[in-house]
Structure 1
C-alpha cells in the first residue's frame, strides 16, 4: 500500500530528512546492480557460479534471487490491517520499535498514534527510502540493521519500547524468541507471523500445537491471537494465512537458570512427544530420581509433554535440581 504523506501530521517540505543509521551486519549485505530491469550478480562476484544467491532456472542459466526472495518479504498492503495492529498497542510507553517496516504500510499508522517510531529494516534500499516515502515525518528514526543479529541493547537504546512487526516467515520465530527474554527493553510485542506459528504460541495444555515455542512464550509472557490475515492483504500474497499476536511480557519471570532448566527438560520430552515424560527424561536423571522429582513437583510421570503447563516444567526442573539427581546424562536444549 502507498501512504499519502499528507495524512501524517506535522510534515513540512523544508524539514531535514530523517537520518538512516546502518549497522555493521546490515551494511555487510552484498550490493547488487540492475541490468535491463533484472537483478544481476552481486558486484565483485566472479560471474555467478560462486554466488550464494544464484540458482539455475529451467534453461540452465544461472540467475540471482531478488532481495525480496532472499528476505522472504511479503509487504502488507491493507490499510485496515495496519491500523488494527497499531491500535493493538498500549498507550504507554509512547515509543514503538518497528521491525521490518518494508514500504511503510504499518509505519504510517504507528506515527499517527505515537510520537516516536524507530524502524529497523534489514533491506538497505527500503531503509534508505522509507522516510522519503512517508514525507519525512519528525517522529521517525530509521535504522538499517538486522534485528536477528545486531546488538539488541544498541537497537533498543532509550527504551523501554513496544514492538510492532510484520515478520518474515523465515525468521519470525527466531526474532520473537530473541525478544521474549528482554523485558528490560520491551514491554509489549504485537507481531504478525504465520498462522501456524501463532497457534503454537498460544496452544493450551493438551493441544496438538503445543510445543517448545508455546513454553518459551509462556515463560516470558502472555500471548493471544488478535485476528487472522488472509494472503490477499499482502504483496506478493503468501501461500498461507497470517495472524497478529499480542504478547505482554511478564514483569517478573522466573530466574533465567530456572527457565533454562524447565525448557531443557521440555526439550528432551518433546523429542518423543508421544511417550510418557518419564521415558525421555531418563536422559536427565536416573528413573528413581525422575519419579521422586515428579512426586515432589506434583506432576504425573505418565503424562505426555504437551499435557503439562509451563509451571509444571518449572516445578519439575526445580525438584530435579534440589534432589541432586540431574546430570546422569546431562541436560541441554537443541
Structure 2
C-alpha cells in the first residue's frame, strides 16, 4: 500500500507519503547520510529507536519522557543546548519519531534553531498520522495553556507507516480515530460512512488517506487558521482544558468536548455511537479550573470564542459565542463538581 500527496505552498512544497513498512527503508525516501538529530520519547524509542537510528549516519539521539507536559520551554532549551554542544549545523535535519507531542516539540525546535532547519516527521500514533503531522502547526505549552507558543512551519517530509499503529493500546488507537470522526462529521460525509463501516486496522490506511486529503483542503484555504480551518476545532475548545485539568488523552478529551459545540440530535447520536465503540464513556464533570482554562483558549477573540455548528454531516460552520454563553452551555451540558 503506497500513496503520496504533494502539498504545494508559497514557501516550499513537501510530500506526505503513506506506505506500509516505510519505517524499515528510510533511504528510499530521504538522504540518510546527512547530519541528523533524532528526537523521540521513551515509549516509541523502545519500539522503533534502534530500527530508525541504525539507518541514519551517527545521529544525535534525544529521548524525552512521554506526555503532554513535556512540550515545554525547559525541554526546548535543553534539546537546543544538546544540539549546540554537538555542533549541529544549519544544514542538519531533525527527525521527529513519535506521536503528537514529539512532532510538536521537534517541529517547534526546527522552526527556531538557527532561524530554521529542516525536519522530517515520522508519526507513530493514529492521532499524529491522521491529524497533528498535517497542517504545519508546531507548538509547546506554557503556564498550563496548551499550544500557546508556536508557529506555522512546514516539514521537509511526512512519512507515515500505518502498520506501526497496529501495536498501539486500544485507547490510543481509537483516540486518534476521533480526529477522523471530527473531520468526517464536519467536512466529509464519505469519510464518516467509512468510519461507521469499520475502524479496524485493516480499514485504517484508507481512513488516514481520506482524512488527510480533507484536512489539506481546509488548510489550503486557510493555512494560518483565521477562518475555514477553524472547523477542525470541533470538540477542541473544551478538550484542551480537559487535557490539562483532567489528564485525559487528546482524542478522548475531544469526543467529550464535542458536546460543547452546537450539534443537531442526529449528530449527537453519531458521536454517541463512536463513544460507545471506542469505550470513551466515563461520566465527565467540570469545575471552575476547567472553565478558567477554557477562557484562555488561544482561539479567543476579545470576549468571544468560535464554536462549531453542525446540523448536518459534512456541513460544519462557525459561530461566535460570548464567554457568558459558553459558561451557560457548559453548565447545561455537563455535570459539575
Q: Provide the TM-score with structure 2 as the length reference.
A: 0.36
Q: Give the TM-score, by structure 1 length.
A: 0.36
Structure with the largest fraction of helix: 2
